[in-house]
Structure 1
């Protein structure tokens, strides 16, 4: 009888301990993930984009290419119904002023007010160099020439730090420039893209 009671007590202790261990593990992983995300916060700088505007209110009637589509100069981006007056309108194509990657702006029922962005053009050159704002300095990050990788939507873009503006501060977003190895996945770099940055020890390619 006593042996049975001892065995039952041991089983109860094990059953109690397992959920507690799992709970502590979950809390640890949550805290670790939060700290990692905070330390690796990075976002695109607004000066990478050219806002595209029109002088009259307009309604987007058709999107002529998917978000992040690569475009050439004068390529049609959107079909618009320009609302000159309550009873007067005209349908036009809005063409890209330059080459780059086009991203749609968020609109209310596809209606855009005058001089409000109808989209954003990610300006690009053969250098594939862009400016970023980073919240905290990554561990072991030195300066110009450091190899980094940026993760966007489970895709990884490799490059290197080409310029650092000023010095890192815990209270401010720090501007850095990163030159990517190639154009792969540049279509993911929308103005509101969620991304993270990590330092890599050796040069890698996409």
Structure 2
């Protein structure tokens, strides 16, 4: 083989390698561009999800209905409760007879009626005796409320801040009362808890709001986007 042919073959080999290198250099920017577009698209989708995908949280509490919702039924002197004239949870009018009573201190007991001081729902305070004590309630009237707003005590400390407008469900036995938080008062204390006002959506199951009832509250926070939660 002549020297000239050897140089020709070597030159062709170098030319082929140069072409391969050129093709690889051309391909790399295309790969980088595709990667950048994919990254931008992923970031755009993430931003949209953060803005529009919402998360909700719930909290559960033991609650008690506050005594300021009720008008207590009291007597100035010891009396015998002869008869209860109204059923538990029944609507009564102002001055309607609720109990038939007898004065215990008289030789010839005289019967008289205890009448409702206001309109509302009647609840009897169960006791072991039918003899009332002076100025101690023997029953309560859940006062009529045109706004369907009632106050309660949260007995468990909230893990998250409660906000006006948060939706709630009050569970009493098998009954469910839906509403929303309308007002908050004071801080949580170990003695009383935290006072909260709830506006009920309707009064269909309001007869369940007995001062003796065991009540549980499920509170749903207003939906927030992921972006709001991160702020």
Q: Which has the larger radius of gyration?
A: 2
Residues 95 and 163 of structure 1, relative CA distance in 2, 3 Å threshold: same
The one of 43, 56, 70 aligned to 2:77: 56
Which residue of 2 is the match for residue 32 of structure 1?
A: none
Which residue of 2 is the match for residue 160 of structure 1?
A: 180
Q: How many aligned positions are there?
A: 164
Which residue of 2 is the match for residue 115 of structure 1?
A: 135
Which residue of 2 is the match for residue 84 of structure 1?
A: 105
Matches of 1:140 and 1:198, distance apart in 2? 13
Q: Deviations over 1:52-107 (max 9, x none)?
A: 1111211111111111111111111111112233x131111211110011111223
Q: CA deviation at 1:200?
A: 3.9
Matches of 2:171 and 2:163, distance apart in 1? 20
CA RMSD of aligned residues (A): 2.2
Long gaps (5+) in structure 1:
1-37
- Check the 8 A contact 1:59/1:110 in 2, yes or no: yes
Matches of 1:142 and 1:113, distance apart in 2? 40
Matches of 1:137 and 1:150, distance apart in 2? 17
The one of 184, 197, 219 aligned to 1:177: 197
Residues 98 and 41 of structure 1, relative CA distance in 2, 3 Å threshold: same
- Check the 8 A contact 2:60/2:219 in 1, yes or no: no
Residues 93 and 193 of structure 1, relative CA distance in 2, 3 Å threshold: same
Q: Deviations over 1:36-64 (max 9, x none)?
A: xx951111111111111111211111111
The TM-score normalised by the length of structure 1 is 0.72
Long gaps (5+) in structure 2:
1-58, 223-231
Which residue of 1 is the match for residue 214 of structure 2?
A: 194
Q: CA deviation at 1:193?
A: 0.8
* Alignment partner of 1:101 is 2:127: no
Which residue of 1 is the match for residue 153 of structure 2?
A: 133
Which residue of 1 is the match for residue 51 of structure 2?
A: none
Q: Deviations over 1:12-57 (max 9, x none)?
A: xxxxxxxxxxxxxxxxxxxxxxxxxx95111111111111111121
Residues 139 and 198 of structure 1, relative CA distance in 2, 3 Å threshold: farther
The one of 83, 93, 103 aligned to 1:72: 93
- Check the 8 A contact 1:48/1:131 in 2, yes or no: yes
